[in-house]
Each structure stands twice: as C-alpha cells, then as structure tokens.
Amino acid sequence: MVKAVVGANWGDEGKGKITDMLAKEADIIIRFQGGANAGHTIVNDYGKFALHTLPSGVFYGHTTSIIGNGVALDIPKLFHEVKSITDRNVPAPKLLVSDRAQIVMPYHILFDQYEEERLGKNSFGSTKSGIAPFYSDKYAKIGFQVSELFDEELLKEKVERVCDTKNILLEHMYHKPLLKPEELLNTLHEYRDMVAPYVCDVSLYLAEAIKEGKEILLEGQLGTLKDPDHGIYPMVTSSSTLAAYGAIGAGIPPYEIKQIITVCKAYSSAVGAGAFVSEIFGDEADELRKRGGDGGEFGATTGRPRRMGWFDCVASRYGCRLQGTTDVAFTVLDVLGYLDEIPVCVAYDIDGEITTDFPVTAKLEKAKPVLETLPGWKSDIRGIEKYEELPENCRKYIEFVEEKIGYPIKMVSNGPGRDDIIYR
Ligand code: GDP
C-alpha cells in the first residue's frame, strides 16, 4: 500500500518526525519532489539529525530509501548527508536513485545566488540551493538526467551547448566569471562515479514492489501553501508539494496512493517572504519561536528564525483539501502548554468581507485574521499516551481545529520523539 506524508501549510509542520515514525512499518520511503533546500529534523535512538535530501526513513535497517525522478538531486550533498549519518553509527542506508532524476548543477547554485543578489530587496528569500534555476532548466529542457551521465558523447556535447547559453547570462547580465566546459565535464564525471552504484529504474522497481504488496511511503517537502499552482504564488517553491505529484515524482499510478497523511502544526510558522495572515510579532512571537519545535523554530537548512503565527484554520482547511487528506497528523501541540489563552485564526477579513475560503495571492495580501480565543491547558502534555488523558482544554483545542478544518485528526504529536504520538 502506498501512503503519502505531506504538509498542509508552509512546511516545517513536522513531516520528518511522522515519516520517521511511520517508516517503522514501511519497506520503501521515497522523496518525490524538492531538493536540499528544506530540511527535516528527526530525533531518534541515534540522536538528532537534520536531513535535506535523504528520506526520513533512512534510520531503519529494513527500509529502502529512494530519490525519485521529481527531486532536484544535488549529488555531492546527498553523499555528504549519507556520510554525516554513517559517521554517527547509523547503518549505511539502502539507497536507490532514479535514473530519471535530474541533477542540480554547480551553476544552478551560483545562478540562485546571483539572481537573489540582483533582485536585492525584491528577492524571494531563496535558500540559494539552486532549486529555482534547476527547475527552470528542467522545464526549459536543458537539465541533465542522471542517466545522461553514462553517455559520454551526449554529455560532452550537452555540456558545451549549455555552457554557451549560461555564459551569455553570466557575462552580460550578472557580470560574473564564465563557466569552463572542461571543468564542468570533470565535475560531472565525479558525480557519475559517486551515484553509479545506486542508479535504478525506479518506476519499474516500484511497480514490482506494489505488486508484492510492499508498504511504500511518499515523503513530501514543504506544504500546500508553497505549491507553485495552489500556493501563495510567486512566494512558493519550484516543484509541486502535493500528494498528487507523488505519483509523478515517484513514477507510480495515482490510484495507488491510498492514504494521505497531512501534517498540520498546532500553530503556524513560515520561512521566506509572502503573505502570512495569522503572523505575530514582537515578544509574543519570540516566545513561541523560542519554545517551538524541538529547540526553537529556526530553519533546519539555513538556521534563520522562522516567522511565527497562530493556527490558521482557513489556510489549513485549504491545505488539507488540496492534498486530498485522509488523515491529519496534528503536531507540536505540547509547545502551546505555556499559554493562558490561545488565539486561532478562524476566518479572513478581506476588505470588510469575511471568508473561510483561502483566496488567491493578491487578495491574501489584504486579508486580516479573524481570531477566536480558546483557553489554554497550562500544563506539559509530553509523555501522555492516551487521548482521554489529555487535559480537557487541550482536547477542546484539537476538536475545535478539527471541526474548522473539516478533516479527521487521527494522530496528535506531543513531542519530537518517535513515540510521542497519540492515536485517535
Ligand atoms: P518538517 O520539515 O515538516 O519535517 O518539519 P521540521 O523538521 O522543521 O520540524 C519540526 C520540528 O519540530 C523539528 O525540530 C521536530 O523535531 C520537532 N517536532 C516534531 N513534532 C514535534 C512535537 O510534537 N513536539 C515538539 N515539541 N516538537 C516536534
């Protein structure tokens, strides 16, 4: 059976923890989109890890970790990450890389930096991992597939052709050093040698696995609101963050995805620019940021402070709907235990009109939050294992949110560890 673990919001909802937890029962875990630009933080028996490219199931000996064709594959970063976990006594993961995955080239990372520099105050707040230039090239049909590393003639010709194009921009638009085709070709030879043992016809492998009844997890990066079509365009990421894209980015039939676990955090956080209706500022935000997640709400990739806000029912209901949610995992609830009262954004006021439907970006920019305040539970809920044992106000908070978003909260996460989970 195929399950997807995806985010309802801006990312950082705690998907890594939920995937790591579900991976216990899984055979295969696949990353199907995105690149090394976002990170998952995982706490388990080996310690605390920040993963960027490897699927969150890599810590179990019994799982196969797959980089799907939809991923922006940064080969040196992938192997650096493998080393960073094996150096800490995690057994070497069983890794497969799709022969159709495309490669983040060194110049994608440079172009990402140069473009953000050029945009100055209008920049996107990119993590400068090369993701936007990578996907631009993929759709402009000048990207490099892993399979192409193994065809020397094709590779050489393509490197020269692409360098010609890139050098026009580097010289005339960015006034930066030019690319040297021979150097790039050498780099690609190194990439080829690194990745060669892992290359696989992933869609074929998965077709077999599905036939054999294997348990397969699709692991999403970021969340609905960062989807290029359905998110807060243009402040989005460059590949689809939706479960539906899991079928494409892994190479499986869409109807095989039977369960869609959408992860929602009990409050909001976001990185990068863009409208964020329930955002809070000042001391109130600092306090939540400091207490948030596991050791504070700071980017797993960049370390930058995340923007903070109250739970947004409008955004989350929309986020769950676009994912096709079957189950909601409601995470990081323990963090809210310090609050006397907890505001929740239940609707948007857009030019005096009250709505619970998430609007297009231009309207979203004008939206003001309509808040309702719920009583806090003023206690530490970590360690609680049964839903009935949660404080009454805590259960009321969960049930209030569930009613507003309209999708069943089937899991409540009350701590960063694998076992900090309450099933309903
Ligand atoms: P992802 O990108 O969606 O995987 O999210 P992040 O890795 O940014 O995750 C959220 C952070 O919250 C990480 O530091 C997790 O260890 C932590 N975390 C996940 N679930 C919980 C939870 O229920 N409670 C607490 N306190 N921290 C959690």
CB burial readout 102-132, b (16+ within 10 A) else e: bbbbbbbbbbbbbbbeeeeeeebebbbbbbb
40 labelled catalytic: yes
Q: Which amino acid is at 220?
A: G
334 lines ligand 1 (CB under 6 A): yes
294 labelled catalytic: no
Confidence of residue 154 (pLDDT cuts 50, 70, 90): very high
The pLDDT tens digits for 37-48 are 777 777 888 888
pLDDT at 60 over 90: no
Which residue of the set 20, 40, 227, 327 is catalytic? 40
Q: How far apart are the first and last CA of the chain?
A: 21
Contact 74, 130 (CB under 8 A): yes
pLDDT at 288 over 90: yes
pLDDT of residue 232: 96
Counting ligand 1 atoms within 8 A of each CB, the residue from 267, 308, 331 with the most, and so the one to mutate, is 331
Rounded distance, CA 170 to CA 200, Å? Answer: 35
Q: Which amino acid is at 216?
A: I
Q: Cα 300 to chain center, whole Å? A: 11
Contact 330, 370 (CB under 8 A): no
The pLDDT tens digits for 213-268 are 999 999 999 999 999 999 999 999 999 999 999 999 999 999 999 999 999 999 99
Model pTM score: 0.94
Confidence of residue 348 (pLDDT cuts 50, 70, 90): very high
pLDDT, mean of residues 374-388:
97
Contact 308, 299 (CB under 8 A): no
Q: Which residues contact 154 (CB under 8 A, 6 or more apart)?
A: 148
CB burial readout 153-168, b (16+ within 10 A) else e: eebeebbeebbeebbe
Q: Which of 3, 4, 85 is nearest to 45 (CA)?
A: 85
CA of 16 to the centre of ligand 1 (A): 7
CB atoms within 10 A of CB 270: 25
Cα 370-371-377 angle, rounded to 5 deg: 165
pLDDT of residue 230: 98
